[in-house]
Structure 1
Amino acid sequence: MIQLTTRSLTFPCGDLTLEGAVYLPESTPAPGVVVCHPHPLYGGDMENNVVLAACRALAGRGFAALRFNFRGVGRSDGAFDQGQGERDDVRAALAYLGALPEVDEQRMGLAGYSFGAMMAAEVASAALRALALVSPPIAHSDLRVDWGCPALLLGGEQDPIAPADRLRALAEARGVELRIISGADHFWWGFEEELGGTLADFFQRHLR
Protein backbone atom coordinates (compact mmCIF):
# COMPACT_ATOMS: atom_id res chain seq x y z
CA MET A 1 0.00 0.00 0.00
CA ILE A 2 1.35 3.43 -0.95
CA GLN A 3 2.14 5.62 2.04
CA LEU A 4 0.92 9.20 1.62
CA THR A 5 1.53 12.53 3.25
CA THR A 6 -1.30 15.08 2.98
CA ARG A 7 -0.79 18.66 4.01
CA SER A 8 -2.68 21.92 3.84
CA LEU A 9 -0.82 24.83 2.30
CA THR A 10 -0.96 28.30 0.83
CA PHE A 11 0.83 29.63 -2.24
CA PRO A 12 1.14 33.02 -3.94
CA CYS A 13 -0.61 34.18 -7.08
CA GLY A 14 0.51 37.72 -7.75
CA ASP A 15 -0.63 39.77 -4.76
CA LEU A 16 -3.07 37.07 -3.64
CA THR A 17 -2.61 34.05 -1.43
CA LEU A 18 -4.48 30.89 -2.40
CA GLU A 19 -5.19 27.88 -0.21
CA GLY A 20 -4.77 24.28 -1.21
CA ALA A 21 -3.87 20.78 -0.13
CA VAL A 22 -1.25 18.45 -1.56
CA TYR A 23 -0.99 14.67 -1.51
CA LEU A 24 2.63 13.46 -1.56
CA PRO A 25 3.64 9.82 -2.03
CA GLU A 26 6.47 8.17 -0.14
CA SER A 27 8.50 7.58 -3.30
CA THR A 28 9.78 10.89 -4.67
CA PRO A 29 10.38 12.81 -6.84
CA ALA A 30 6.96 11.94 -8.20
CA PRO A 31 5.01 13.18 -11.21
CA GLY A 32 2.59 15.95 -10.27
CA VAL A 33 -0.99 16.76 -11.23
CA VAL A 34 -3.00 19.89 -10.37
CA VAL A 35 -6.78 19.40 -10.13
CA CYS A 36 -9.12 22.39 -10.66
CA HIS A 37 -12.57 22.64 -9.06
CA PRO A 38 -15.96 23.60 -10.59
CA HIS A 39 -17.63 27.01 -10.77
CA PRO A 40 -17.16 29.17 -7.64
CA LEU A 41 -20.52 30.92 -8.06
CA TYR A 42 -22.34 27.57 -7.96
CA GLY A 43 -20.68 26.23 -4.83
CA GLY A 44 -17.57 24.80 -6.44
CA ASP A 45 -14.51 24.40 -4.24
CA MET A 46 -11.62 22.04 -3.60
CA GLU A 47 -13.80 19.83 -1.38
CA ASN A 48 -15.94 18.87 -4.39
CA ASN A 49 -16.58 15.13 -4.78
CA VAL A 50 -14.98 14.93 -8.23
CA VAL A 51 -11.89 16.86 -7.13
CA LEU A 52 -11.43 14.67 -4.06
CA ALA A 53 -11.96 11.47 -6.05
CA ALA A 54 -9.39 12.55 -8.62
CA CYS A 55 -6.76 13.50 -6.05
CA ARG A 56 -7.20 10.35 -3.99
CA ALA A 57 -7.01 8.11 -7.05
CA LEU A 58 -3.89 9.87 -8.31
CA ALA A 59 -2.24 9.76 -4.90
CA GLY A 60 -3.02 6.05 -4.68
CA ARG A 61 -1.01 5.51 -7.88
CA GLY A 62 2.01 7.39 -6.55
CA PHE A 63 1.37 10.84 -8.00
CA ALA A 64 1.71 14.13 -6.16
CA ALA A 65 -1.72 15.75 -6.46
CA LEU A 66 -2.61 19.36 -5.64
CA ARG A 67 -6.14 20.69 -5.22
CA PHE A 68 -6.73 24.35 -4.47
CA ASN A 69 -9.41 27.01 -4.12
CA PHE A 70 -9.68 29.61 -6.85
CA ARG A 71 -9.54 33.27 -5.79
CA GLY A 72 -12.46 34.31 -3.61
CA VAL A 73 -13.26 30.72 -2.57
CA GLY A 74 -12.79 29.43 0.97
CA ARG A 75 -9.70 31.01 2.49
CA SER A 76 -8.21 32.11 -0.82
CA ASP A 77 -7.82 35.86 -1.24
CA GLY A 78 -9.59 37.95 -3.84
CA ALA A 79 -12.91 37.65 -5.63
CA PHE A 80 -14.31 35.78 -8.62
CA ASP A 81 -12.82 37.24 -11.81
CA GLN A 82 -15.07 35.85 -14.57
CA GLY A 83 -12.50 33.25 -15.59
CA GLN A 84 -9.72 35.79 -16.22
CA GLY A 85 -7.70 35.84 -13.01
CA GLU A 86 -8.59 32.19 -12.45
CA ARG A 87 -6.25 31.29 -15.31
CA ASP A 88 -3.44 32.87 -13.32
CA ASP A 89 -4.53 30.81 -10.31
CA VAL A 90 -4.03 27.61 -12.32
CA ARG A 91 -0.62 28.75 -13.54
CA ALA A 92 0.40 29.61 -9.97
CA ALA A 93 -0.75 26.19 -8.73
CA LEU A 94 1.29 24.44 -11.43
CA ALA A 95 4.36 26.52 -10.60
CA TYR A 96 4.00 25.83 -6.89
CA LEU A 97 3.57 22.07 -7.31
CA GLY A 98 6.41 21.81 -9.82
CA ALA A 99 8.78 23.63 -7.46
CA LEU A 100 8.28 21.20 -4.57
CA PRO A 101 11.35 19.01 -4.01
CA GLU A 102 9.10 15.93 -3.90
CA VAL A 103 7.84 16.60 -7.44
CA ASP A 104 9.47 16.00 -10.82
CA GLU A 105 8.70 19.23 -12.68
CA GLN A 106 9.39 17.50 -16.01
CA ARG A 107 6.40 15.19 -15.46
CA MET A 108 3.49 17.55 -14.82
CA GLY A 109 -0.18 17.10 -15.65
CA LEU A 110 -3.33 19.18 -15.27
CA ALA A 111 -6.95 18.17 -14.69
CA GLY A 112 -10.13 20.18 -14.30
CA TYR A 113 -13.80 19.54 -13.72
CA SER A 114 -16.59 21.63 -15.34
CA PHE A 115 -15.52 25.29 -14.91
CA GLY A 116 -12.17 23.94 -13.78
CA ALA A 117 -11.90 22.05 -17.06
CA MET A 118 -12.44 25.29 -18.98
CA MET A 119 -9.69 26.99 -16.97
CA ALA A 120 -7.35 24.03 -17.45
CA ALA A 121 -7.98 24.09 -21.20
CA GLU A 122 -7.14 27.80 -21.31
CA VAL A 123 -3.82 27.28 -19.54
CA ALA A 124 -2.65 23.99 -21.09
CA SER A 125 0.48 24.05 -23.23
CA ALA A 126 3.25 21.85 -24.52
CA ALA A 127 5.00 22.36 -21.18
CA LEU A 128 2.53 19.86 -19.73
CA ARG A 129 2.83 16.13 -20.30
CA ALA A 130 -0.94 15.48 -20.11
CA LEU A 131 -4.32 17.22 -19.73
CA ALA A 132 -7.62 15.73 -18.52
CA LEU A 133 -10.91 17.61 -18.91
CA VAL A 134 -13.84 16.25 -16.92
CA SER A 135 -17.31 17.39 -18.02
CA PRO A 136 -16.24 20.62 -19.74
CA PRO A 137 -19.46 22.67 -20.12
CA ILE A 138 -19.37 22.81 -23.91
CA ALA A 139 -23.15 23.07 -24.21
CA HIS A 140 -22.82 26.67 -22.98
CA SER A 141 -19.23 27.76 -23.69
CA ASP A 142 -16.55 27.49 -26.33
CA LEU A 143 -13.57 25.36 -25.37
CA ARG A 144 -10.01 26.26 -26.31
CA VAL A 145 -8.62 23.23 -28.13
CA ASP A 146 -5.00 23.98 -29.11
CA TRP A 147 -3.54 22.35 -26.00
CA GLY A 148 -0.18 21.14 -27.28
CA CYS A 149 -0.14 17.98 -25.13
CA PRO A 150 -1.94 14.61 -24.93
CA ALA A 151 -5.49 15.07 -23.64
CA LEU A 152 -8.43 13.11 -22.29
CA LEU A 153 -12.07 14.17 -22.50
CA LEU A 154 -14.10 12.44 -19.79
CA GLY A 155 -17.87 12.78 -19.59
CA GLY A 156 -21.05 11.20 -18.33
CA GLU A 157 -23.57 9.69 -20.70
CA GLN A 158 -26.42 11.56 -18.98
CA ASP A 159 -24.77 14.99 -18.83
CA PRO A 160 -26.65 17.79 -20.67
CA ILE A 161 -23.98 20.35 -19.76
CA ALA A 162 -21.18 18.36 -21.39
CA PRO A 163 -23.19 16.40 -23.98
CA ALA A 164 -21.64 13.07 -24.93
CA ASP A 165 -22.21 13.61 -28.65
CA ARG A 166 -20.35 16.91 -28.58
CA LEU A 167 -17.49 15.39 -26.60
CA ARG A 168 -17.27 12.57 -29.14
CA ALA A 169 -17.17 15.05 -32.03
CA LEU A 170 -14.50 17.14 -30.31
CA ALA A 171 -12.36 14.10 -29.48
CA GLU A 172 -12.57 12.89 -33.07
CA ALA A 173 -11.73 16.30 -34.49
CA ARG A 174 -8.75 16.80 -32.17
CA GLY A 175 -7.51 13.21 -32.10
CA VAL A 176 -7.59 12.99 -28.31
CA GLU A 177 -8.72 10.27 -25.93
CA LEU A 178 -12.38 10.02 -24.95
CA ARG A 179 -14.19 8.17 -22.18
CA ILE A 180 -17.96 8.36 -21.71
CA ILE A 181 -19.19 6.72 -18.51
CA SER A 182 -22.58 5.04 -18.83
CA GLY A 183 -25.15 6.32 -16.34
CA ALA A 184 -23.11 9.25 -15.03
CA ASP A 185 -24.38 12.83 -15.19
CA HIS A 186 -22.65 16.16 -14.65
CA PHE A 187 -22.26 15.69 -10.90
CA TRP A 188 -20.79 12.16 -10.87
CA TRP A 189 -22.45 11.06 -7.62
CA GLY A 190 -21.95 7.33 -7.27
CA PHE A 191 -19.37 7.24 -10.06
CA GLU A 192 -16.41 8.76 -8.22
CA GLU A 193 -14.39 5.54 -8.08
CA GLU A 194 -14.73 4.88 -11.80
CA LEU A 195 -13.92 8.51 -12.59
CA GLY A 196 -10.84 8.49 -10.36
CA GLY A 197 -9.57 5.25 -11.84
CA THR A 198 -10.03 6.52 -15.39
CA LEU A 199 -8.06 9.67 -14.63
CA ALA A 200 -5.30 7.77 -12.84
CA ASP A 201 -5.00 5.33 -15.76
CA PHE A 202 -4.66 8.23 -18.21
CA PHE A 203 -2.00 10.07 -16.24
CA GLN A 204 -0.11 6.84 -15.56
CA ARG A 205 0.22 6.28 -19.30
CA HIS A 206 1.55 9.77 -19.95
CA LEU A 207 3.50 10.77 -16.83
CA ARG A 208 5.29 7.55 -15.92
Structure 2
Amino acid sequence: MFAGPDGRLEGRYHHAKQPNAPVALVLHPHPLHGGTMNNRVVHALFERFRDMGFSVLRFNFRGVGRSQGRYDGGIGEISDAAAALDFLQAVNPSASALWVAGYSFGAYVGMQLLMRRPEMGGFVSVSLPASHYDFGFLAPCPCNGLVVHGAEDELVPEGSVRKLVEKLNTQKGIRLDYRVLPGAGHVFTPEQTAKVVDMAEDHVRAALNRSRMPLAAD
Protein backbone atom coordinates (compact mmCIF):
# COMPACT_ATOMS: atom_id res chain seq x y z
CA MET A 1 0.00 0.00 0.00
CA PHE A 2 1.27 3.48 -0.84
CA ALA A 3 -0.17 6.99 -0.69
CA GLY A 4 -2.32 8.12 -3.61
CA PRO A 5 -4.10 11.43 -4.25
CA ASP A 6 -7.49 10.01 -3.15
CA GLY A 7 -6.45 7.47 -0.52
CA ARG A 8 -4.09 4.54 -0.31
CA LEU A 9 -3.36 2.45 -3.39
CA GLU A 10 -2.68 -1.28 -3.52
CA GLY A 11 0.28 -2.50 -5.53
CA ARG A 12 2.85 -5.23 -6.07
CA TYR A 13 6.47 -4.09 -6.11
CA HIS A 14 9.73 -5.86 -6.94
CA HIS A 15 12.99 -4.18 -5.96
CA ALA A 16 16.01 -4.96 -8.11
CA LYS A 17 19.33 -5.86 -6.51
CA GLN A 18 21.36 -3.44 -8.64
CA PRO A 19 21.44 0.03 -6.96
CA ASN A 20 20.97 2.02 -10.18
CA ALA A 21 18.60 -0.44 -11.87
CA PRO A 22 16.06 1.00 -14.32
CA VAL A 23 12.48 1.18 -13.08
CA ALA A 24 9.15 0.43 -14.76
CA LEU A 25 5.52 1.19 -13.92
CA VAL A 26 2.87 -1.15 -15.38
CA LEU A 27 -0.74 0.10 -15.74
CA HIS A 28 -3.88 -2.03 -16.00
CA PRO A 29 -6.97 -1.90 -18.27
CA HIS A 30 -10.22 -0.03 -17.63
CA PRO A 31 -11.48 -0.32 -14.01
CA LEU A 32 -15.13 -0.46 -15.11
CA HIS A 33 -14.49 -3.37 -17.46
CA GLY A 34 -12.75 -5.74 -15.09
CA GLY A 35 -9.27 -4.27 -15.32
CA THR A 36 -6.96 -4.96 -12.37
CA MET A 37 -3.23 -5.22 -11.72
CA ASN A 38 -3.63 -9.02 -11.97
CA ASN A 39 -4.69 -8.83 -15.62
CA ARG A 40 -2.80 -11.44 -17.68
CA VAL A 41 -0.93 -8.92 -19.85
CA VAL A 42 -0.12 -6.61 -16.93
CA HIS A 43 1.17 -9.50 -14.82
CA ALA A 44 3.26 -10.84 -17.70
CA LEU A 45 4.82 -7.42 -18.39
CA PHE A 46 5.56 -7.01 -14.68
CA GLU A 47 7.36 -10.36 -14.57
CA ARG A 48 9.32 -9.68 -17.75
CA PHE A 49 10.56 -6.29 -16.51
CA ARG A 50 11.52 -8.00 -13.24
CA ASP A 51 13.42 -10.70 -15.12
CA MET A 52 15.27 -8.02 -17.09
CA GLY A 53 16.60 -6.53 -13.86
CA PHE A 54 14.14 -3.66 -13.39
CA SER A 55 12.60 -2.45 -10.16
CA VAL A 56 8.97 -2.68 -11.20
CA LEU A 57 5.54 -1.76 -9.81
CA ARG A 58 2.03 -2.70 -10.84
CA PHE A 59 -0.91 -1.34 -8.87
CA ASN A 60 -4.69 -1.03 -8.77
CA PHE A 61 -6.21 2.30 -9.78
CA ARG A 62 -8.55 3.97 -7.26
CA GLY A 63 -11.61 1.88 -6.42
CA VAL A 64 -10.07 -1.38 -7.69
CA GLY A 65 -9.17 -4.20 -5.29
CA ARG A 66 -8.00 -2.72 -2.00
CA SER A 67 -7.23 0.70 -3.50
CA GLN A 68 -9.29 3.47 -1.93
CA GLY A 69 -11.40 6.03 -3.81
CA ARG A 70 -13.65 5.59 -6.82
CA TYR A 71 -13.31 5.65 -10.60
CA ASP A 72 -12.72 9.18 -11.90
CA GLY A 73 -13.10 8.99 -15.66
CA GLY A 74 -9.39 8.81 -16.33
CA ILE A 75 -8.44 12.13 -14.70
CA GLY A 76 -7.91 10.77 -11.19
CA GLU A 77 -6.31 7.63 -12.62
CA ILE A 78 -3.60 9.75 -14.25
CA SER A 79 -2.95 11.27 -10.82
CA ASP A 80 -2.81 7.74 -9.36
CA ALA A 81 -0.15 6.80 -11.92
CA ALA A 82 1.84 9.93 -11.06
CA ALA A 83 1.69 8.99 -7.35
CA ALA A 84 2.89 5.47 -8.23
CA LEU A 85 5.80 6.97 -10.14
CA ASP A 86 6.58 9.19 -7.13
CA PHE A 87 6.74 6.03 -5.00
CA LEU A 88 9.06 4.34 -7.50
CA GLN A 89 11.38 7.33 -7.69
CA ALA A 90 11.49 7.72 -3.90
CA VAL A 91 12.56 4.09 -3.48
CA ASN A 92 14.93 4.23 -6.48
CA PRO A 93 16.57 7.69 -6.33
CA SER A 94 19.49 6.65 -8.56
CA ALA A 95 17.48 4.74 -11.19
CA SER A 96 19.24 4.70 -14.56
CA ALA A 97 16.00 4.94 -16.56
CA LEU A 98 12.23 5.29 -16.11
CA TRP A 99 9.74 3.33 -18.23
CA VAL A 100 5.96 3.08 -18.27
CA ALA A 101 3.99 0.19 -19.76
CA GLY A 102 0.23 0.01 -20.11
CA TYR A 103 -2.46 -2.18 -21.60
CA SER A 104 -5.60 -0.69 -23.18
CA PHE A 105 -6.89 2.04 -20.79
CA GLY A 106 -3.56 1.68 -18.97
CA ALA A 107 -1.75 2.52 -22.21
CA TYR A 108 -3.79 5.75 -22.49
CA VAL A 109 -2.94 6.69 -18.90
CA GLY A 110 0.70 5.85 -19.55
CA MET A 111 0.87 8.20 -22.54
CA GLN A 112 -0.72 10.96 -20.45
CA LEU A 113 1.91 10.34 -17.78
CA LEU A 114 4.68 10.77 -20.35
CA MET A 115 3.49 14.31 -21.02
CA ARG A 116 3.55 15.19 -17.33
CA ARG A 117 6.89 13.61 -16.45
CA PRO A 118 9.66 14.61 -18.87
CA GLU A 119 12.12 12.31 -17.09
CA MET A 120 10.43 9.24 -18.60
CA GLY A 121 12.80 7.42 -20.93
CA GLY A 122 10.55 5.04 -22.82
CA PHE A 123 7.16 3.33 -22.99
CA VAL A 124 5.36 0.16 -24.00
CA SER A 125 1.73 0.66 -25.09
CA VAL A 126 -0.35 -2.46 -25.74
CA SER A 127 -3.79 -2.21 -27.40
CA LEU A 128 -3.64 1.59 -27.36
CA PRO A 129 -7.28 2.85 -27.47
CA ALA A 130 -6.68 5.30 -30.31
CA SER A 131 -10.32 5.23 -31.45
CA HIS A 132 -11.70 5.91 -27.96
CA TYR A 133 -9.56 8.86 -26.77
CA ASP A 134 -8.09 11.96 -28.36
CA PHE A 135 -4.31 11.63 -28.41
CA GLY A 136 -3.77 15.17 -29.66
CA PHE A 137 -1.99 15.89 -26.37
CA LEU A 138 1.07 14.08 -27.78
CA ALA A 139 2.28 17.26 -29.42
CA PRO A 140 5.09 16.65 -29.39
CA CYS A 141 5.47 13.06 -28.22
CA PRO A 142 8.17 13.30 -25.51
CA CYS A 143 10.06 10.06 -26.18
CA ASN A 144 10.28 6.94 -28.30
CA GLY A 145 8.56 3.69 -27.40
CA LEU A 146 6.81 0.51 -28.51
CA VAL A 147 3.20 0.19 -29.64
CA VAL A 148 1.75 -3.34 -29.97
CA HIS A 149 -1.71 -3.99 -31.39
CA GLY A 150 -3.83 -6.97 -32.39
CA ALA A 151 -4.55 -7.17 -36.10
CA GLU A 152 -8.12 -8.31 -35.38
CA ASP A 153 -8.86 -5.97 -32.45
CA GLU A 154 -12.66 -5.73 -32.33
CA LEU A 155 -12.75 -2.73 -29.95
CA VAL A 156 -9.98 -0.56 -31.40
CA PRO A 157 -9.49 -0.93 -35.18
CA GLU A 158 -5.85 -1.52 -36.03
CA GLY A 159 -6.03 1.19 -38.66
CA SER A 160 -6.77 3.87 -36.04
CA VAL A 161 -3.62 2.94 -34.14
CA ARG A 162 -1.50 2.80 -37.28
CA LYS A 163 -2.74 6.25 -38.28
CA LEU A 164 -1.77 7.66 -34.86
CA VAL A 165 1.67 6.04 -34.96
CA GLU A 166 2.33 7.35 -38.47
CA LYS A 167 1.32 10.84 -37.37
CA LEU A 168 3.61 10.73 -34.32
CA ASN A 169 6.47 9.42 -36.45
CA THR A 170 6.39 12.61 -38.51
CA GLN A 171 7.58 14.50 -35.42
CA LYS A 172 11.26 15.41 -35.33
CA GLY A 173 13.37 12.89 -33.42
CA ILE A 174 10.46 10.48 -32.79
CA ARG A 175 10.47 6.93 -34.09
CA LEU A 176 7.84 4.67 -32.59
CA ASP A 177 8.32 0.92 -32.93
CA TYR A 178 4.92 -0.35 -34.16
CA ARG A 179 4.25 -4.09 -34.15
CA VAL A 180 1.00 -5.80 -35.16
CA LEU A 181 0.14 -9.23 -33.75
CA PRO A 182 -1.60 -11.35 -36.45
CA GLY A 183 -4.88 -12.97 -35.43
CA ALA A 184 -5.06 -11.18 -32.07
CA GLY A 185 -8.10 -9.31 -30.77
CA HIS A 186 -8.25 -6.79 -27.94
CA VAL A 187 -7.97 -9.52 -25.30
CA PHE A 188 -4.92 -11.74 -25.76
CA THR A 189 -4.70 -15.49 -25.29
CA PRO A 190 -1.84 -16.83 -23.11
CA GLU A 191 0.15 -17.62 -26.27
CA GLN A 192 -0.43 -14.13 -27.68
CA THR A 193 0.48 -12.58 -24.33
CA ALA A 194 3.81 -14.40 -24.43
CA LYS A 195 4.47 -12.89 -27.87
CA VAL A 196 3.57 -9.41 -26.58
CA VAL A 197 6.05 -9.57 -23.71
CA ASP A 198 8.73 -10.98 -26.03
CA MET A 199 8.20 -7.93 -28.25
CA ALA A 200 8.41 -5.68 -25.20
CA GLU A 201 11.69 -7.26 -24.07
CA ASP A 202 13.17 -7.01 -27.56
CA HIS A 203 12.31 -3.31 -27.76
CA VAL A 204 13.40 -2.43 -24.22
CA ARG A 205 16.73 -4.23 -24.50
CA ALA A 206 17.46 -2.53 -27.84
CA ALA A 207 16.56 0.90 -26.43
CA LEU A 208 18.67 0.47 -23.30
CA ASN A 209 21.57 -0.99 -25.27
CA ARG A 210 21.56 2.20 -27.33
CA SER A 211 21.92 4.14 -24.08
CA ARG A 212 24.43 1.53 -22.81
CA MET A 213 22.49 0.55 -19.73
CA PRO A 214 23.28 -3.04 -18.72
CA LEU A 215 20.40 -5.37 -17.95
CA ALA A 216 20.08 -8.72 -16.24
CA ALA A 217 21.45 -11.61 -18.32
CA ASP A 218 23.33 -9.26 -20.67
**TM-score of the alignment, normalized to the shorter chain, above 0.5:** yes
Task: Rate the CA distance shift 1:53–1:88 in 2: closer, same or farther, 3 A.
Answer: same
Q: Distance in 2 between matches of 1:29 and 1:105?
A: 5
Q: Are 1:121 and 2:103 counterparts?
A: no
**1:29-63 CA distance string (max 9 Å, x none):** 31011000000001100000010011111111111
For 2:10, what is the secondary structure of its paired residue? strand
Q: Distance in 2 between matches of 1:15 and 1:194?
A: 36
Q: Are 1:187 and 2:178 counterparts?
A: no
Higher normalized strand content (fraction of residues)? 1
Shift of residue 15 of structure 1?
4.6
Q: Distance in 1 between matches of 2:167 and 2:73?
A: 28
What is the aligned-residue identity percentage?
A: 35
Whether contact under 8 Å (2:12, 2:59) holds in the other structure is yes
Q: Are 1:20 and 2:14 counterparts?
A: no
Identify unmatched segments of 5+ residues in structure 1.
1-9
For 2:179, what is the secondary structure of its paired residue? strand
Q: Distance in 2 between matches of 1:170 and 1:15?
A: 32
TM, length-normalised to structure 1:
0.88
Whether contact under 8 Å (1:24, 1:65) holds in the other structure is yes
Shift of residue 106 of structure 1?
4.4
Q: Are 1:165 and 2:159 counterparts?
A: yes
Whether contact under 8 Å (1:56, 1:196) holds in the other structure is no
- Paired position in structure 2 for 1:7: none
Aligned residue pairs: how many?
Answer: 198
Task: Rate the CA distance shift 1:81–1:48 in 2: closer, same or farther, 3 A.
Answer: same
**1:121-154 CA distance string (max 9 Å, x none):** 1111331000221101222222242331112211
Q: Which moved more, 1:39-48 or 1:22-31?
A: 22-31
Q: Which moved more, 1:34-43 or 1:137-146?
A: 137-146
Whether contact under 8 Å (1:46, 1:69) holds in the other structure is yes
Q: Distance in 2 between matches of 1:114 and 1:156?
A: 11
Identify unmatched segments of 5+ residues in structure 2.
170-175, 214-218
Q: Distance in 2 between matches of 1:132 and 1:62?
A: 17
Q: Distance in 1 between matches of 2:59 and 2:94?
A: 19
Whether contact under 8 Å (2:21, 2:96) holds in the other structure is no
Q: 1:61 aligns with which of 48, 52, 56?
A: 52
- Paired position in structure 2 for 1:4: none
- Paired position in structure 2 for 1:201: 202
Q: 1:83 aligns with which of 68, 74, 81?
A: 74
- Aligned CA RMSD, in angstroms, stands at 1.6
Task: Rate the CA distance shift 1:169–1:45 in 2: closer, same or farther, 3 A.
Answer: same
TM, length-normalised to structure 2:
0.85
**1:59-91 CA distance string (max 9 Å, x none):** 111112110000000000100011111110010
For 1:30, what is the secondary structure of its paired residue? coil
Whether contact under 8 Å (2:20, 2:96) holds in the other structure is no
For 1:45, what is the secondary structure of its paired residue? coil
Q: 1:138 aligns with which of 105, 130, 134?
A: 130
Q: Which 4+ runs in 1 deviate beyond 6 A?
A: none
Whether contact under 8 Å (2:130, 2:164) holds in the other structure is no
Matched residue type, 2:196:
L
